[in-house]
A and B are shown apart, each in its own frame.
Chain A
């Protein structure tokens, strides 16, 4: 079956530090890949996505590149802010319309200190 593995947290960084959260996946075919963010006490919000190999998703300074050869979708940000403190989830969706189930990683909690 499909699976997503992301780095264990928590991750604590100082403001303006570089962020990488690793995510690798196992799936057949060409799944779509997503990063979601969850702020305390809230639901998940889509942060970015990529639907085919070598696509780069980006949003709010965050980036992730769909690497088919390494089955990875690592999340990066060049300079984190205190407001980026949240839990980040990597997820995949099988390819094709009607393939609706998302598989999530366990989440990585990020804390950014001033």
Chain B
């Protein structure tokens, strides 16, 4: 079945560490996104990518970095510069070739600073 896989489901980070969240999709979608969700909050866009080797900052990109070396993969690195990284992170993708199409989401990664 086609879908988006995020790993790990739970991740713990020590102060000063960089950690990388994985996102893989087999939907053949061009566009991929990373969102951050805090308790009681909506989704905030961190980064997005329309095609391989290209990505753009979203609303809250500071302290995060991404890469898009392959169409199916869009990993997110939470750097030590992100002062408040504890949150639920969601990866999504859309098919830019189709009009009016919805986004497909992964199951999320919960990151906690210890």
Contact = CB atoms under 8 A, between A and B. Distances in A.
Interface of B: prevailing SS: loop
Range for the number of chain A residues in contact with chain B: 20 to 34
Nearest to A10: B40
Contact of B43 (A46, A93, A96, A104): A104
A contacts with B: majority SS: loop
Contacts, number: 65
B105 A45 contact: yes
Nearest to A6: B42
Interface stretch (B66-74, B79-87, B94-102): B94-102
Contacts of B113: none
Contact of A100 (B43, B94, B108): B94
Interface of A: 32, 34, 36, 41-46, 49, 51, 89, 91, 93, 95-102, 104-107, 109
